[in-house]
Amino acid sequence: MSDPAPDPAAPPAAFQRHDHGRCVASARASVEAACAERGLRLTPARARVLEILLDSHEALGAYDVLERLRAGGHAAQPPVAYRALDFLVANGFAHRIEKLNAFVACAHPDEGAETAHAPAFMICRGCRRVAETSAGPAAASVADAARDLGFEVERTVVEIEGVCPDCQARPSE
Amino acid sequence: MSDPAPDPAAPPAAFQRHDHGRCVASARASVEAACAERGLRLTPARARVLEILLDSHEALGAYDVLERLRAGGHAAQPPVAYRALDFLVANGFAHRIEKLNAFVACAHPDEGAETAHAPAFMICRGCRRVAETSAGPAAASVADAARDLGFEVERTVVEIEGVCPDCQARPSE
DNA sequence: AGTGAAATGTTATACAGTAACAGATGAGCG
DNA sequence: CGCTCATCTGTTACTGTATAACATTTCACT
């Protein structure tokens, strides 16, 4: 590795190397705060699943999560994982990556759950890591076009499949 | 809604009422032409699956397709459906709707398969019908943003979930 | 302490997708 | 004509993803 652009002052960490311990801790704190504020119960199972998702920036399938739960001594069945994931997704603490049938922790858990921050996901097919960015005005314009056709928009999914900088640099690419 | 614009001269038919017989026939003709031109084999199984998809604007799961194949006296196993669907998707004659794990016929089969026409899909959660529109410049701008982060973009998925005009008008809504 | 809502545990099953190999079909060629 | 290679089809068996349904526990709030 020739140390590719260590860390410009870019605010939202993505594929670039970062202090993952901090990244996890701050996300966890945000979720805890949001739960307290909104009267949501971050139960042990949910907290554990959140931690599992936060531990990597990879998208994890429900059964990957389940496996890790079990590795932690929790004799869980599939619904346990799905229920925790549903909770996290419903409240904006995690996102479902449709293309992968998998889940990632949200990069901005403090932003509104209902307040629809329109995310877009970059999915690396090399390492399965997923970076979240804002679809912003682009998503809005597509949504507007849909509304012009009389379609009532509820949610939009934007997923970009490709290869992340690290995997481009790697031999196997 | 008070009669939402029955059929303006909008070129790409979508959720609005239309002459479905014509719609199917023209799509079929386009696919046949494209296959002839590109040396692709539109075998009976593939043609039959295409027809099944064209018959409705609903997104059909692979097993829905399979069921209809069987209803037509074809004692098919899952791989039969998947292989035909893979062929149609690979050549741009159908699209996969990630959010539904389902498939729809392409509305513009004559446009390039490789020539990446960036589609966006409006998915009605009431009737499962799917309308295709162009993500156009919006998708391009998100893709550009991704490239700016060093991400090599290969494909983008834009799916909009909501309620179509018909289902908004319907009681069950 | 009592009660209703929410969360969990558990079994069983439905739905989605693929690996692997055997057999059939078809286009091009000597 | 008959070979032959590539592609397509048939079939078995399996892996992976997701949920229905119901019993039980936990928690917040009287």
Contact B150 A141 (CB under 8 A): no
Q: Residues of A at the B interface (Cβ-Cβ below 8 Å)?
A: 14-15, 98-99, 101, 120, 122, 124-125, 131, 133, 135, 137-139, 141-143, 145-146, 149-165, 168
Whether the per-residue pLDDT at B3 is higher than 60: the answer is no
Nearest CB to A163 within list B142, B152, B156: B152
DSSP structural state of residue A99: G
What integer pLDDT is reported at residue B162 of this predicted model? 95
* A107-116 pLDDT per residue, tens: 888 775 544 5
B127 is in an annotated binding site: yes
Residue A29 has which token pair?
């704190």
Residue A112 φ then ψ, to 5°: -55, 145
Among all strands, which nt has the closest C1' to A76 (CA)? C9
Residue B109 has which token pair?
């089969």
Nearest CB to B142 within list A135, A153, A164: A135
Nearest Cα residue to A127 out of A81, A166, A73, A74: A166
Above pLDDT 90, what percent of chain B?
68
Contact B34, B93 (CB under 8 A): yes
Q: How many CB atoms lie within 10 A of CB A153?
A: 19
* A19-63 pLDDT per residue, tens: 999 999 999 999 999 999 999 999 999 999 999 999 989 999 999
Contact B24, B55 (CB under 8 A): yes
Min Cα distance A80 → chain B (Å) is: 22
* B22-58 pLDDT per residue, tens: 999 999 999 999 999 899 999 999 999 999 999 989 9
| Sign, CA torsion A65/B79/B160/A167 | positive
Amino acid at A96: R
Residue B70 φ then ψ, to 5°: -65, -40
Residue partners of A100: CB distance under 8 A and separation at least 6: A59, A61, A123, A128
Contact B155 A160 (CB under 8 A): yes
Contact A157 B160 (CB under 8 A): yes
At the top level of CATH, which class does the domain A20-169 belong to? mainly alpha
Whether the per-residue pLDDT at B5 is higher than 50: the answer is no
Contact B133 A146 (CB under 8 A): yes
Rounded to whole angstroms, how far apart are CA atoms A152 and B166? 11
Above pLDDT 90, what percent of chain A?
69
Total count of residues recorded for chain A: 173
* A136-165 pLDDT per residue, tens: 888 888 889 999 999 999 999 999 999 999
DSSP structural state of residue B158: E
Among all strands, which nt has the closest C1' to B80 (CA)? D9
B35 is in an annotated binding site: no
pTM: 0.89
- Which residue places its CA closest to the C1' of nucleotide C6? A41
B48 touches strand D (CB under 7 A): no
**What chain B residue is nearest to A150 in terms of C-alpha separation?**
B165
Chain D bases closer than 7 angstroms to a protein Cβ: 7-13, 16-21, 27
CA of residue B39 to C1' of nucleotide D3, angstroms: 24
The DSSP H or E segment spanning A162 is: strand A152-163
